[in-house]
Structure 1
């Protein structure tokens, strides 16, 4: 699947009249961590930190102020883009505390790893935050 098709197939509900940026921000964060660590296994704290930094870098590009990683993370798990190892069932993906205490690690699956081979991915995703 090419990157255009992948992004077009993301379920990006409208937030205050504009496309929600959460899944694109999550993709940018995952890509950044993958490039830094050269590993498809990511620690929960690292992903949350990267998500918050990426959100702040681009927050002027969208209206929503809700920078919760929970629902895009759940969407990526449900679609098979990520796997999470947990020590207890997650009742509320919107709870950062619950994610930190229950998610042991996050594994990037092959679909995303194929996308991450594109050296221009970050630039493309930045361009697609609102489109």
Structure 2
């Protein structure tokens, strides 16, 4: 949040928009982590499939949309490096996610922002009042 300016205290609409933007950023990070985790699991499946094979055995690898013929000995280290790189990126994104969630929680506390349906309070208040809520006339 250091790069972003905090909205003025009196402008509720700017506060809500800023909070929504923060929630959207958190959602985008979650999505990216999910995508990368799926890709990492695919790398694990490939590693499990080709690890027991002989190093001189022929295999095929998709590189930039082109299917290339290689040997298991050539492909195995590359797939291992890619998997490790994905794990590092996932770890960094997880750290960013935690930082964003912390910033969002502080912002939510600072401006006393409540999300509908998140707390049980909204439902308790609605169920405790037995008075009619409105009339629909056609």
Q: TM-score range by the shorter chain?
A: under 0.3
Higher relative contact order structure (alpha carbons within 8 Å, sequence separation ≥ 6): 1
Larger radius of gyration: 2
Greater helix share, structure number: 2
Greater strand share, structure number: 1
TM-score using structure 1 length: 0.27
